[in-house]
Amino acid sequence: MTGRKLIMTFPVTATSHLLADYKARGGYGTLERALREMRPEQITKEVTASGILGHGGAAFPTGRKWGVIKPNDGQPHYLCANADEGEPGTFKDRWILENAPHLLLESMLISAYALQVRHSFVYIRGEFDLPYRRLAAAVEEAYAAGLFGERILGTDFACDIVIYRGAGSYVCGEASALITSIEGKKGYPRNRPPRLTVRGLYQRPTVINNVETLSNIAGIVAHGAEAFRTVGTAKSPGTQLVSISGHVQRPGVYEVEYGYPLAKFIYEDCGGPLGGGKIKCVIPGGISTKVLTAAEIETVTYDHAALAAAGSQVGSGGMVVIAEGTCMVRLLQVLLRFYHHESCGQCTPCREGMGWMHRIIDRIVAGEGRMEDIDQLIRISKANDGTTICGMGDAAGYATVGIIAKYRDEFEYFIEHKRSRLNGRLEVVQ
Amino acid sequence: MKHLIPEFDAMRKRYPADAASSLVLPCLRRIQEDRGFVADSDIAELAAYIPVPRIQIEEVLAHYTQFRRAPIGRWHLQACRNLSCSMRGAEGAIAHLERKLGIAPGQTTADGRFTLSTVECLGSCGTAPVVMVNEAYHENMSPPRLDALIEELRK
């Protein structure tokens, strides 16, 4: 077991995603109570007191984001669930969309009431088919039950929801690109300030929260901030859905209580490395987070402070286990090809830098690398850091610098001998 | 495109009143489902329907990888080659598909049945390697499973 559970609290069956089952589990009771007994400000106060951090990658305090919205300022506000799950290694929001779509919808309705939102959106990545169909069916069930539209549950509260499907663009997972996409445009990120909570979708105050973050709201409102804070650690209350993949015996989605020992999770709960060998390193939270060696994960707990102290992040919860014998040069090549492919081209350092880094790593893998290429990759990474509108170029740099810092000898060997010390292996030796 | 306008009109009901521009992506998706790709006439007609500048639609078509301006094969095989898939056999799976179908990524078989593409992370890393066939994910795709899949699709 990976600690206490807040989301994966019911057995998944053929019908557990449907409205009837959700209601049988007490679903939409919190919405009813919130609409009848709570004022919008009370809900925001509770969410702020819960200390919940964003689960999409940046770990921004949700209450601070919500606190910017003035519910009664007379202008429209918008709420968007970010379901553009695209950070490589991450597939945890899919679990909610496929298995608990009504938990997301109830939480969104409570959030919409707190923020006085009339129109809400779920931005879901275009490739997700089953998650879309499950969510779309849940939305129709909810409309038919009077949970969306006018006079929800007989109150004065009204709210509509649109499931907005992306069409293949990693950068649209970035909040400002996401709303630009909902405006029907190419997904270019926007400069801040103004913050999106001041001027977001259609130039109105907009809250964008990750699917998992929002899905926690119903529980926080139902049981109170204090109860929520008893789970996890003081600085990281609650749990994280972790999607684990790569060279691991039991890949999948696990709910992990913050503060849980990372090594125990990987070696015991997930069965340890594939192929009977040893773990070389772990990417803890999506490919944009810095890699941790097997030695580094031994003592670390799974929470924001501990992972930061170890030099990495919780990130998007997308954990990738890498076994001994894996070629880190070819691994970085896969990552840089991805970043190059996904750079939207708006900012010069990223547009040029991603292509440049990709060409360098391709050159090294082709046996035509130069020893100065290693430092050149680091220099380009640092030149990208903080010089672009969104964080994508920075992220590519973190991944690159993280890998080179720990496995520089593999890069030197590759360049000197014109071949991988590990036969260019990405798959585990079975 | 014009026969889809009643559907588009129905879709607008849940959007804010002044959000017409938002319809670009959902309308293009529906047009592509209907025709298989987005034609020049669709762009002109959609720009008039919403209405938005034509260039906005063309930029959207260029930016998002799922939109197509030309027809493709009956079955679109999109093989993920990002990290977790590569670590679980995607490179071999893609090479196997290339040999089996006699085409490289980006190409369509002469009989128009199969188009092969490589894509980056489909968000199915726990069941890698994954190949998307039209809308559906096919997971844990070893060469024997790919053979069975192709046989099934050829029927």
Q: Do B82 and A334 touch (CB under 8 A)?
A: yes
B75-154 maps to CATH 3.40.30.10:
yes
User: Chain A residue closest to B12 (CA)?
Assistant: A162
Which residues of chain A does B65 touch, with a Cβ-Cβ cutoff of 8 Å? 167-169
Instruction: Report the distance separating Cα B130 and Cα A172, nearest Å.
Output: 22
Q: Which of B58, B65, B38, B39 is closest to B122 using CA atoms? A: B65
SS3 label, residue A120: strand
What number of helices (H) and strands (E) belong to chain A? 18, 11
- Sites in chain A below the pLDDT cut of 50: none
Q: How far is A198 from chain B (nearest CA, A)?
A: 18
Q: Which of B15, B29, B63 sits opposite A162 (nearest CB)?
A: B15
Burial class (CB in 10 A: 0-12, 13-18, 19+), A189: buried
Q: Which of B125, B139, B140 to mutate to test the interface with A (most CBs of A within 10 A)?
A: B125
Q: Which of A140, A165, A426 to mutate to test the interface with B (most CBs of B within 10 A)?
A: A426
DSSP string, A143-205: HHTTSSBSSGGGSS--BEEEEEE--S-GGGGSHHHHHHHHTTS------SSSPTTTS-GGGS-
Query: Can you give the pLDDT at residue A1?
Result: 83
Tell me whether B65 touches chain A (CB under 8 Å).
yes
Q: Which of A127, A171, A136 is closest to A338 using CA atoms? A: A171
Mean pLDDT value across residues B4-33: 96
Q: In which residue are the tokens 């490289």 written?
A: B104
User: Chain A residue closest to B132 (CA)?
Assistant: A127
Domain spans of chain B, in order of start: 2-63, 75-154
SS3 label, residue A284: coil
Domains of chain A and any CATH numbers: 19-229 (3.40.50.11540), 239-323 (3.10.20.600), 328-417 (1.20.1440.230)
The 10s digit of each residue's pLDDT in B53-85 is 999 999 999 999 999 999 999 999 999 999 999
Q: How far is A30 from chain B (nearest CA, A)?
A: 24
Instruction: Report the distance separating Cα A128 and Cα A134, nearest Å.
Output: 10
Q: Which of B84, B89, B127 sits opposite A320 (nearest CB)?
A: B84
The highest-level CATH class for domain B2-63 is mainly alpha
Instruction: Report the distance separating Cα A316 and Cα A338, nearest Å.
Output: 17
Task: Confirm whether pTM is higher than 0.90.
Answer: yes
Instruction: Report the distance separating Cα A267 and Cα A284, nearest Å.
Output: 14
List phi, psi (to 5°) of A359.
-65, -40
The 10s digit of each residue's pLDDT in B101-147 is 999 999 999 999 999 999 999 999 999 999 999 999 999 999 999 99
Q: In which residue are the tokens 């964003």 written?
A: A54
Instruction: Report the distance separating Cα B26 and Cα B41, nearest Å.
Output: 17
List phi, psi (to 5°) of B43.
-60, -45
Put simply, the chain A residues between 407 and 426 with a CB less than 8 A from any chain B CB are 426
Tell me whether B3 touches chain A (CB under 8 Å).
no
Q: CB within 8 A of A109, min separation 6: which ones?
A: A31, A147, A148, A152, A159
The residues with which B131 forms a beta bridge, in sequence order, are B79, B138
Instruction: Report the distance separating Cα A93 and Cα A83, nearest Å.
Output: 7
Instruction: Report the distance separating Cα A170 and Cα A84, nearest Å.
Output: 8
Cis amide leading into A194 (omega within 30): yes
Query: Can you give the pLDDT at residue A430?
Result: 62
